[in-house]
Structure 1
């Protein structure tokens, strides 16, 4: 395993963060797919003891990023549910008003 590969994997995570912040979710997904392929290729190689710490740091970054993305997804879903409730309430109000 080379440090260049780890640098590339970390750069991919940076690119995912940038894509998510820009709300380019399809691009973020594509980058994550490529990242997953590269990570599997890296893990198919023999790893020396000195690579454990940088690889662990990469895994921790991945987990933090995925948790952050899940929180953002959940927040967006909650907003969508609230919007749906508001829309239903507005329709009910309009319907009740038309019956009066």
Structure 2
């Protein structure tokens, strides 16, 4: 069974963000375990949204069950690619690759 866990957390400081995310993630994990569902922390991703173009040097460490969750710049969520600057670039690139392979197949079939 597939369980998709999504949390949006906002905090004024990095330290508070780390504490709140740890508590909320572990609360979700406990809730899922009561339903006999397990989470795979090694397949989980953290995404730090930033609307400004500046780089954040000191990012918050997201922990769940004493496992450091990998932070990515882009992730696929329910068929859509989300990136940290909330643009469509990764999603469009993925769809262009799918469409171009389909066009190639149709072009080769049209010769028959």
Q: Same fold (TM over 0.5)?
A: no
Greater relative CO (CA pairs within 8 A, separation 6+): 1
Which category of TM-score, normalised to the shorter sequence, fits these structures? 0.3 to 0.5
TM-score (norm 2): 0.33
TM-score (norm 1): 0.36
Higher strand share: 2
Structure with greater Cα Rg: 1
The structure richer in helix per residue is 1
